Amino acid sequence: MSLQLISSKAVVSRETGGELGGALLGTPASGALPAWPVQRVFAPLFGSTAAVAHEVWRADSPASEGRGEDIVWRRNAGLLYGVIELDEADFAGTADESPLQSASAEAYRRIFRLLDSQGLPHLWRVWNYLAAINLEIGGLERYRQFNIGRQDAFLECRHEASGNVPAACAIGLAGGLLNIAFLAGASPALPIENPRQVSAYDYPADYGPRSPTFSRANLVYPVGQEVLFISGTASIVGYETVHPGNVLGQCRETMDNIAAVVAEANRRCRSAPFRQDELSYRVYFRHAGDFAAIRNLLAPLVGGAEVIYLQADICRRDLLLEIEAVASHTLGS
């Protein structure tokens, strides 16, 4: 049941039968999608001669698949990858609940129902994308509306909303549906927090009526492996944004936070220590004109690591970039 992340411009042509699912990143021309569940992230891709990049989660055993409640999923004995897309227009909302809040809560309810029915209840990693993440509607920013809906579902479905919660990101796109991909397993994750930051689920009310429901990172254990998922990470110390308006300052601070998370993971990991230059990164940045400066700053910090650069909006208006990462080690000899 080992799990491997494959990133390639040509990965679609190399099917093995063990693909669980993946992501299509960039602005593709129309064309056929692969057979497995695909999260489509329509955002400008930088640093590549291709218009798109593919990421595929591949296991070493054949996968079965299913579809229902707008979720497309694949699984093997101990792992499940799924994608759900919901149109906010299908949710009327109320005076107390926006359409986005309703859609977010319903998406997570459906995810939890699926995982319970499949006997894989442990949500390891979630990738959330929504349109106009910083737009304020009805006096409340859309990201904060999303957080209310997400936490409502966690509590309603009797999942913890703090402590043992999945690694995650929430990124804003120019348009499109509420789009959530998730990876779950048979065993619980080991949550990792950053000693330089207040845990996101403990943010004060200044950052919204409900705190974001995610851990800074997770260690998870497919059979024979230890996988480190680092959540979307930004220039936040404590709970406050630092270096506002300074993209290079924010980039350095973000990498300091990732270094702190890696160090904390290494205190608890079962395999060899993780290194920053072995991680696979996704870098989201708000302004296209900042790309070259960000890439030049990151190059000596990440070494030969694979980096995908996407232009997108970040969950706070004063944040200019966000970085997530993943790495896998083999356990034992």
| pLDDT tens per residue, range 246-302 | 999 999 999 999 999 999 999 999 999 999 999 999 999 999 999 999 999 999 999
- Asked if the model's pLDDT at residue 240 lies above 50, the reply is yes
Task: Report whether pLDDT(232) > 60.
Answer: yes
Contact call for residues 182 and 114 (beta carbons, < 8 A): no
Domains of the chain: 3-330 (3.30.1330.40)
Residues 6+ apart with CB under 8 A from 301: 255, 276
Q: Which two tokens stand for residue 296?
A: 């030049």
Residue 27 pLDDT > 90: no
Tokens (6 digits) for 218: 């997770």
Name which of 231-235, 253-257, 304-308 the model is least confident about: 304-308
pTM metric for this prediction: 0.96
- pLDDT tens digit sequence for 62-80: 889 999 999 999 999 999 9
Nearest one of 323, 236, 258 to 286, comparing CA atoms: 323
The least confident of 105-109, 140-144, 160-164, 323-327 is 160-164
Q: List active site positions.
A: 322
What digits encode the pLDDT tens for the residues 98-136?
999 999 999 999 999 999 999 999 999 999 999 999 999
pLDDT reported for residue 9:
43
pLDDT band at 14 (very low <50, low <70, confident <90, very high): low
Of 158, 171, 175, 39, the closest CA to residue 108 belongs to 158
Q: Which of 77, 85, 80 is nearest to 36 (CA)?
A: 80
What pLDDT shows up at residue 12? 45
Element containing residue 130 per DSSP (H, E): strand 122-131
For residues 299 and 197, what is the distance between their CA atoms, to the nearest angstrom? Answer: 25
3-state secondary structure of 205: helix
Residue 150, helix vs strand vs coil? helix
Strand boundaries in 138-239, DSSP class E: 140-141, 167-173, 178-185, 190-192, 217-220, 225-233, 236-237
Tokens of 233: 């990470």
CA distance 76 to 62: 7
